[in-house]
Structure 1
Amino acid sequence: MTAIAQNRPQPWKAEQVRQDDSWILRLTAEEVDGVRAALAHAKQLDKPLLSMEQADFPLPEVSRRALQAAIDMTQQRWGLCLLKGFPVDEWTEEETRLAYWGMSLYMGVGRTQNRASQFINDVRDAGGEYKVKGGRGYNTNAGLDFHQDSCDVVALLCRRTAKSGGTSKVVSSLALRDEIQKRRPDLIPVLQSPFFHSYQGTQDPTQPPYYRLSIFGTHPEYFAARTNRKNTVAAQRDFPEIPRLTEAQIEALDLLDELMPSDEFCYSMQLERGDLQLLNNYVTLHSRTPFEDYEDPDLKRHLLRLWLAIPGSQPLPDSWVEYYGDVRAGSVRGGVRGSSITEEFLAYEERQARAMNMPFEPWKPYITKDEMDAYIATTQSGAVPA
């Protein structure tokens, strides 16, 4: 293995992560003071979040380096980082949101996350349901299936913890691949072939309600994985026109479901107030346990979530362009467009891409709903699609 390859994410099992805490970083007093000063400046400006630029949240170099080190770590050995010590107990909810967004201006380009095209999400129990048509996990208190989010790095800032539960669980998809290669090598090509997945209503109105994506990528140098069985099952349930899962595909999904929650592969961590968890979505999967909340609204579990495209991201397989929009290393990609993209967001993402020196192309659907309908009709007729 070359020195460059060694610095990329590597497979790991739970015990290895427990024994080596190099992926955990803690802010110094000076770094925290830099965030405080930038927040005070931004509060005086009172600009809308999408209008903000780095100059509106003037982090000193020492604080910038701390954020950069955390982002860089997601692209290295473990594929994850926990940055501790943000003073969330000093801040109101809106101050926390402003500080978090201001810091994101130094980390990457935020992506929209749901059908409402929101670019910063509140992860808390809002009475939602998870395993229903269109259900999402972030607004429920349910335990979640292992999955990857639709971006280079998912960032969770913990503002309030639950009364009990809500444990974060992380698995190395590289280690899963190695285990499947050992146990069932015949399933590797199955996982590298396209599956149909439901958008759960988060697509742009011009897009079909489902997309094709392999669970394991086929890039010749960089491994990537993406799976969320709930969305694969939803596609089978809601769209009778798409191909049915084969016996081999079901076997592959069942084997993943067996491996992911096991003590050997699954590492559990309890996020604390002021923790920022960063996960590389191509080499880790994550879930959480159910949680019980406090009655007092001011004490209820609350995390703020960003989906980020980052400058140091890896290239993706060419076939993943249908979902991610751009597969070039370090490009602005990912997210789900939803149905409420605004001109303000479009201006933000282009401006922020320039600030981060990231390749950027204005979004357009790789395949439209009409084109997908034609493709499905062709496959149903038995003809070979073009």
Structure 2
Amino acid sequence: MAVEKIDTLVVGAGQAGVATSEHLGALGIPHLVLERSRIAERWRSERWDSLVANGPAWHDRFPGMEFEDFGPDEFVPKEKVADYFEAYARKINAPIRCGVNVTSVTRQTGKPGFLVETSQGPIEAERVVVATGPFQNPQIPAIAPKDDRLYQIHSTAYRNPAQLPEGAVMVVGAGSSGVQIADELNRAGRKVYLSVGAHGRPPRAYRGRDFVWWLGVLGLWDLETMTPGQEHITIAVSGAYGGRNIDFRALAHAGITLVGVTDRFDGAKVRFRDDLARNIAAGDSNLMDLLDAADAWATRNGIDLPPDPQARHIPPDPDCLTNPLTELDLAAAGVTSIIWATGFAQDFGWLKVDAFDDKGKPRHQRGVSSEPGIYFVGLPWLSRRGSAFIWGVWHDAKHIAGHIATQRSYLHYHAQQQR
């Protein structure tokens, strides 16, 4: 049986794969996109029911199409985000083949390109673009208790409060996912303990502009490297309920009990680090630094924006902050569920090429791999801070497609000279 051949194979049809297909198509590069499930599947089946995009509709989209039926400052529900990418794929006539799982990629011997093994047979590709994104393997830390009496899930498996057994809930992780889930559970009448680690806390909006706008004009989306020591700091921001600031003190005053980083489990008890006050203070400092930078930018550029003194208001410290818990007896507190909002690990075990460092991380320059012919799109900090966001992926994909076009031109010249 003849082996299917393609110039460029794109693995994954989420936002990264669709963006890559657009730019490859615009340059006339023959390509195929393989998706193991449906287009933008993770938006549909690996997020909670009430999730909305964390950025407003004017910002969190591709340049070539707006969201239908949503105003520019609205936050689009997850199903509509997935619909958007499906519609975009139709708009650009993207050659996407769904229901195909890529099981391995190996370099060919004695000829160019790669052999790609899939659930529907082998494909030979001159180049492979890895567009599987950053949310691959949900991570639950090894400290998780081995206790069948507790209902434990990763945040990707959480859907709504009714899914959980009756009782209190501990949410571990206070980035965007953990905070929003904890808030939803508290609003549903659950007793919630929220384990808060290091975090950034930008304002949802300041002086009439969303924080995504401020990061843009301040050049912070375009930062090319992370600040040392902040590689694992998450951002607490939410588009839920029309978009609002995340204020941990306000969450506590609304009924959530804040605790420090979850350190270990000793039998029925969980121990917390004595770092809650420091983590909250660092988040406050992050907020104030951004507000100061925004004010300085507005003054420097003579931009007249309405003052917003409320943005600097810090509520009184709740009791759980002034007298933090160092341990909690889960049974005595009525905790029956733990939700681990503890992030993801990347999985490139199927990519059997020399493209990784000794820690298993991709070696690349702006997505161009150290292994010629292998490319990455959609990873955090691929080229800048905004790389893993919808609009950032689009720009990174444009760079990758341009690099592929340049390499094809060299090979085209070689082929002409061989005639």
Q: Give the TM-score normalised by the residue count of structure 1.
A: 0.25
Q: Tell me which protein shows more strand as a share of its residues.
A: 2
Q: Give the TM-score normalised by the residue count of structure 2.
A: 0.24
Query: Larger Rg: 1 or 2?
Result: 2
Q: Tell me which protein shows more helix as a share of its residues.
A: 1
Q: Which has the higher contact order (CA 8 A, sep 6+)?
A: 1
